[in-house]
Amino acid sequence: MNSSSSASMQNELDPDRMPKHVAIIMDGNGRWAKKRLLNRINGHEKGAETVRTIVRTARKLDIAVLTLYAFSTENWQRPQPEVSGLMLLLRRFLEAERQTLVDNGIRLNTIGQTDRLPQAVRDKLAAVMTDTAANTRMVLNLALSYGARAEIVDMVRQMATAASQGTLDPASVTAETVAGHLYTRGMPDVDLLIRTSGEMRLSNFLLWQIAYSELCFTPTLWPDFGEAEFVRILKDYQSRDRRFGRVPSTGRP
């Protein structure tokens, strides 16, 4: 992006009201391809280009954590060629983006049952995570083989084990204890959740972490999503009054 459009982007948005954590359900690749009589994998390829754009935009805007839902626990049930195609695309994405992540201070992290991913993908993920481990400007959190219910089950198992071993006192468990046993431990709660493609459901994404998130559903298919719409959504987010159950922060006393 050139510096003038970058400057106008910054003028439009209030840096003090930027969400710390943005999560996106990147949906609609298949329908994008179908509309063009293409293969679903072509839709995923185009979707990977949108990922590149949005990662760069989020970094430029100083968003601290960007969580992208790339593959759900349920997505394993898709036809085998589509699953393999997605795994190959993921490897290619990691190879192509490695240097950009390093150069831009972005740390790669994953959430989900990543032990279910093919070894070649796990190796690539581990290499890029090592290369970017010291980066502090932004966390790019890829949800891979992710399901919120599986995350909650894992959390309960860990805490129950600790309790049975006497290292966790059940009476002392708080919301913070629970958050500390989720895949997102140490990260702020999601401020803004975006889903593309017009579907109004969560599809097993981040159930605990979105308790007070602002929600945005756009009909745009993920391959057609871009910087301009992302900035518009952020601007709309900044105009919302997040009350967290309290009375309005502006207006009458």
CB of 90 to ligand IPE, least distance (A): 10
59, two tokens: 């970094």
Do the bridges between strand 192-195 and strand 138-146 make them parallel or antiparallel, or are there none, so unpaired?
unpaired
Whose CA is closest to 69, among 192, 206, 176, 197?
Answer: 206
Residue 24's contacts (CB-CB under 8 Å, 6 or more residues apart) are 54, 66, 67, 68, 69, 193, 194, 195, 196
Give the number of other CB atoms < 10 A from CB of residue 115: 7
Residue 201 sits in the site that holds ligand IPE (CB under 6 A) = yes
Based on the residue annotation, tell me whether 39 is a catalytic residue of this protein. Answer: no
Based on the residue annotation, tell me whether 27 is a catalytic residue of this protein. Answer: yes
Distance CA(251)–CA(253), nearest Å, equals 7
- Choose which of 18, 21, 22, 28 interacts with ligand IPE (CB under 6 A): 28
Residue 145 sits in the site that holds ligand IPE (CB under 6 A) = no
Cβ nearer to Mg ion, comparing 6 with 75: 75
Residue 44's contacts (CB-CB under 8 Å, 6 or more residues apart) are 29, 33, 85, 86, 89
Cβ nearer to ligand IPE, comparing 27 with 97: 27
- Choose which of 39, 53, 75, 135 interacts with ligand IPE (CB under 6 A): 75
Residue 71 sits in the site that holds ligand IPE (CB under 6 A) = yes
Site size for ligand IPE (CB under 6 A): 17
Q: 203 labelled as ligand-binding?
A: yes
Residues of this chain that bind Mg ion (CB under 5 A): 27
Residues of this chain that bind ligand IPE (CB under 6 A): 25-31, 69-72, 75, 86, 197, 199, 201, 203
